């Protein structure tokens, strides 16, 4: 379950149904308008990330899918395809971003809506453009950064990242394969700027995380029953 950074939407994943439910939040009462919920039917949803305008979906497939959130009634064409139900706002197919050779571990959207970052079982971190280009552009034209994880942090002996998150538009944080080490990176280059080891007690794992709305802090929760706050590097 996840809020968008502006607090406008709340999204939840029902893994048993492969369905993402999106709820509109009333800014005055902070209550969900359940009658405006959006149901998105997808195949093999594993992880998702949501911003004000996009939803990025990771699955056991190597293809990263993005959907565009738009206001207005759902078109009859979309209803026939059973992508969404006819409600006051909708999500339509936007991009299918190819580049990973294996399934995806995690995805995260840049706060300014321009980029989406993914990490996969193939041991790579990739940053794609979310901006729809003309039909003349190839799949590779959307790929902005493509790095092997073991080259980002060669001293850690890590073959893949388990999670990825934009703390703010300039900083990305990744979680190591053993889910105990945090790696902060520059958002534009994916260059490691800070590595924090032993983030939990007694070798336990980080199981959840969230960035503050101002992008200055990262909060983590672990199997040691402790919530920690970390300063995000500039």
Length of the chain: 234
How far CA 61 is from CA of 36, 100, 120, 121, in Å, comes to 30, 9, 10, 10
Cα–Cα distance measured from residue 174 to residue 106, given in angstroms and rounded to the nearest whole number: 10
The tokens describing 26, both together, are: 């009333």
CA angle 144, 180, 175 (to 5 degrees): 15
Percent of the chain having pLDDT more than 70?
A: 73
Radius of gyration over every alpha carbon of the chain, rounded to an integer in angstroms: 18
- pTM reported for the whole predicted model: 0.77
Residue-wise pLDDT for 23-32, tens only, equals 776 656 555 4
18, pLDDT greater than 70: no
226, pLDDT greater than 90: yes
The tokens describing 31, both together, are: 């209550």
Report domain 2-231's class. Answer: mainly beta
More confident residue, 69 or 135: 69
pLDDT at 133: 66
Residue-wise pLDDT for 161-202, tens only, equals 999 999 999 999 999 999 999 999 999 999 999 999 999 998
The chain-wide mean pLDDT, for the chain, equals: 79
Any idea where the domains of the chain sit in the sequence? 2-231
């Amino acid at each position: 379950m996840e809020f968008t950074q502006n607090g406008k939407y709340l999204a939840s994943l029902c893994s048993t149904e492969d369905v993402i439910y999106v709820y509109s939040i009333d800014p005055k009462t902070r209550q969900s308008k359940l009658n405006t919920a959006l149901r998105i039917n997808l195949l093999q949803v594993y992880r998702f990330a949501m911003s004000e305008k996009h939803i990025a979906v990771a699955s056991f497939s190597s293809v990263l899918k993005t959907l565009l959130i738009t206001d207005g009634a759902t078109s009859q064409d979309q209803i026939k395809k059973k992508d969404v139900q006819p409600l006051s706002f909708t999500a339509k197919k936007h991009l299918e971003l190819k580049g990973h050779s294996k399934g995806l571990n995690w995805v995260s959207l840049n706060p300014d809506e321009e980029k989406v970052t993914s990490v996969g079982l193939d041991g790579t971190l990739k940053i794609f453009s979310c901006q729809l280009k003309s039909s003349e552009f190839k799949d590779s034209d959307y790929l902005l950064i493509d790095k092997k994880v073991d080259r980002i942090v060669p001293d850690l002996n890590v073959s893949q990242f388990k999670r990825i998150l934009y703390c703010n538009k300039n900083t990305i944080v990744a979680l190591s394969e053993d889910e105990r080490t945090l790696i902060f990176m520059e958002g534009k280059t994916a260059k490691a700027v800070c590595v924090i080891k032993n983030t939990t007690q007694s070798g336990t794992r980080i199981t959840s995380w969230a960035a503050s709305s101002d992008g200055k802090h990262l909060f983590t929760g672990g199997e040691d029953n402790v919530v920690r706050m970390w300063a995000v590097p500039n």
